[in-house]
Amino acid sequence: MDSLNSLLDGFGTALTPINLLWAAIGVLLGTAIGVLPGIGPAMAVALLLPVTYGLEPTGAFIMFAGIYYGAMFGGSTTSILLNTPGESAAVVAAIEGNPMAKAGRGAQALAAAAGGHFAGGMIGTILLVVLAPTVAELAVDIGAPDYFAIMVLAFIAVTSVLGSSRIRGLASLLIGLTLGLVGLDQMTGQQRLTFGSLQLADGIDVVIVAVGLFAIGEALWVAAHLRRSSGDAIPVGRPWLARSDVKRTWKPWLRGPVIGFPFGAIPAGGAEIPTFLSYVTEKRLSKHQDEFGKGAIEGVAGPESAASASAAGTLVSMLTLGLPTTAVAAVMLAAFQQYGIQPGPLLFEREPDLVWGLIASLFVGMVLLLALNLPLAPLWAKLLRIPRPYLYAGILFFAAVGAYAVGGEAIDLVILLIIGLIGFGMRRYGLPVLPAVIGVILGPAAEQQLRRALQISDGSAAGLVNTPFSVTVYAVIVVLLAWPWLKKLIVRSRPAA
């Protein structure tokens, strides 16, 4: 009941004309940038971060929420019309969506995707409203050892669940942790890795790391391998669904969140796994199995709904624990830190207006998304034809604006370029980018919790495992680490049994 009242207050915040305007601008900008080929949600959010710098926090985050959902919807538009997904979560949308578009049913594919985003986002956000305050309440009591355990879990999960090579994931994480060490030590003020430079004593801003790795790294990497003939986007009319389509999509729309939401809340790579699981589920349950692979509408509706719900799930752990589980959440956390706000269990007590305004604006954003994007879809489709030199020149241009806006220092642009070159090398040699970003953001926080925990226990390592919660988390970590061997054992024992 309490959270319902808070939510109503939140709507009071979100529905003021100025905040509605920010939400609408956010949705439009997010979709426009997300539609552009080569720009996934994480890069869109990182590039658009400076747009919010001049706003007060509530307005900034309301705009941000719009950008997030808009970028996700924009990404699936690219997948469907161009068959070239910009990020892993949109791969599934391309499997069925692109054949539909080729068969002249692009409008229906987009409508199924939009409906999926709306349904998944709505259900996911309702679950967020119900669960987040409870999680935050439980989390208020957890102490330094528990936090440290959660962060170790995030590090391990992000390096060993994602990507094909654990060693490369670990290398990426360590690069991130190293970047996070640069600057003054939070507890003693000791200079670390600054090499006497005053510039580095402030540390490397997380926004610069995110923009460098996501935007500059990607632009340089694409530039090195630019496809001279880019694929043709399929033109599309205004999205709509016939009654027979709705009959086939409403169940997948409702099933998607069940799969998507829990996966979003845990550090398991965001929307990648749930969209795939949802696809497999829909394929199994469908009455039109023969259509799968050739353009089955269920295969668009379910996964898109799952992806959208997983975004809401991501917000649960981000807002209540300060734990980013996806690249987008990592950038959002950086945005919070920019305002000196630390997401975590106390956020709901300290900044109720901000949090509930943000959550309410998620609902507003989704309605706006549906209302604005369906009529505008033909226009978005035109954006796919932007000449590639302009596109990537534009990414570099706005990345420079963003990095400069952080502190107004030209040296930040040089640091940005160096981090961008690191990002380039990481893409070349298959080091995943996400562990590095998580390392930069969570590294300093994890160190602080570790030192706090050991201070309380007077240096005894037992102080790290003296709560049931932390012991449980470490048990999960052991299972995660041992999983490849466990899997082998299970596979081996099965034929024998």
Partner 1 sequence: MSSTKSTTQTPDRRAWLREHSELGVGALLLVIGVLVLTDALTMDVDIAQRGPVGPTTVPIAVGIGLLVVAVLLAFDVLRGGRGEAEGGEDIDLSEPSDWRTVLLLAGVFLANAVLIGPLGFPISGALLFWGSAYALGSRRVDRDPLIAAVLSVVTYFVFNNLLGVPLPGGPLMGVL
Stretch that binds partner 1, among 64-72, 133-141, 164-172, 470-478 (CB under 8 A): 164-172
Decide whether 130 or 462 has the Cβ nearer to partner 1: 462
For residue 264, what is the enclosing H or E element? helix 243-265
Query: What is the closest distance, in whole angstroms, from the C-beta atom of residue 245 to partner 1 in the complex?
Result: 27
Position 175 contacts partner 1 (CB under 8 A): yes
> Residue from 37, 74, 270, 274 that binds partner 1 (CB under 8 A)?
37
For residue 183, what is the enclosing H or E element? strand 183-184
> Residue from 455, 478, 484, 489 that binds partner 1 (CB under 8 A)?
455
> Residue from 14, 434, 454, 480 that binds partner 1 (CB under 8 A)?
454
The binding track of 338-377 with respect to partner 1, each residue x by CB under 8 A or -, is: ----------------------------------------
Maximum Cα–Cα distance across the chain: 69
Position 458 contacts partner 1 (CB under 8 A): yes
Query: What is the closest distance, in whole angstroms, from the C-beta atom of residue 361 to partner 1 in the complex?
Result: 19
Decide whether 57 or 124 has the Cβ nearer to partner 1: 57
> Residue from 26, 30, 41, 50 that binds partner 1 (CB under 8 A)?
50
The binding track of 113-152 with respect to partner 1, each residue x by CB under 8 A or -, is: ----------------------------------------
Query: What is the closest distance, in whole angstroms, from the C-beta atom of residue 438 to partner 1 in the complex?
Result: 14
The encoded tokens of residue 224 equal 């090195």
Position 157 contacts partner 1 (CB under 8 A): no
Query: Which residues have CB under 8 Å from 22's CB, separation 6+?
Result: 55, 59, 60, 62, 63, 66
**DSSP of 374-413:** HHHHHHHHHHTTS-HHHHHHHHHHHHHHHHHHHHS-HHHH
Contact assessment for residue 307 and residue 271, using Cβ atoms and an 8 Å cutoff = yes
> Residue 3: what residue type?
S
Query: What is the closest distance, in whole angstroms, from the C-beta atom of residue 156 to partner 1 in the complex?
Result: 13
Gap between the Cα atoms of 385 and 93, Å rounded: 20
Query: What is the closest distance, in whole angstroms, from the C-beta atom of residue 388 to partner 1 in the complex?
Result: 6
> Residue from 46, 48, 51, 95 that binds partner 1 (CB under 8 A)?
51
Query: Which residues have CB under 8 Å from 82's CB, separation 6+?
Result: 37, 98, 231, 233, 234, 384
Residues near partner 1 (CB under 8 A), total: 82
The encoded tokens of residue 376 equal 């505008």
Contact assessment for residue 186 and residue 444, using Cβ atoms and an 8 Å cutoff = yes
The encoded tokens of residue 83 equal 């068959």
Decide whether 244 or 460 has the Cβ nearer to partner 1: 460
DSSP 105: I
Contact assessment for residue 327 and residue 274, using Cβ atoms and an 8 Å cutoff = no
Contact assessment for residue 200 and residue 65, using Cβ atoms and an 8 Å cutoff = no
The three-point CA angle 275-276-281 to 5° equals 95
Gap between the Cα atoms of 268 and 417, Å rounded: 30
Position 89 contacts partner 1 (CB under 8 A): no
Positions in 192-251 near partner 1 (CB under 8 A): 192-193, 195, 216, 218-228, 230-231
Contact assessment for residue 298 and residue 246, using Cβ atoms and an 8 Å cutoff = no
> Residue 381: what residue type?
A
Position 168 contacts partner 1 (CB under 8 A): yes
> Residue from 12, 388, 469, 481 that binds partner 1 (CB under 8 A)?
388
SS3 assignment, position 308: helix
**Pick from 66, 24, 14: which is nearest to 41 by CA?**
66
Positions in 432-451 near partner 1 (CB under 8 A): 447, 450-451
Positions in 400-429 near partner 1 (CB under 8 A): 400-401, 404-405, 408, 410-411, 413-414, 417, 420-421, 424-425, 427-429
Gap between the Cα atoms of 167 and 170, Å rounded: 5
Position 493 contacts partner 1 (CB under 8 A): no
Stretch that binds partner 1, among 80-88, 106-114, 285-293, 362-370 (CB under 8 A): 80-88
Gap between the Cα atoms of 229 and 220, Å rounded: 18
Position 474 contacts partner 1 (CB under 8 A): no
Decide whether 129 or 216 has the Cβ nearer to partner 1: 216
> Residue from 30, 41, 85, 256 that binds partner 1 (CB under 8 A)?
85
Decide whether 16 or 194 has the Cβ nearer to partner 1: 194
Position 171 contacts partner 1 (CB under 8 A): yes
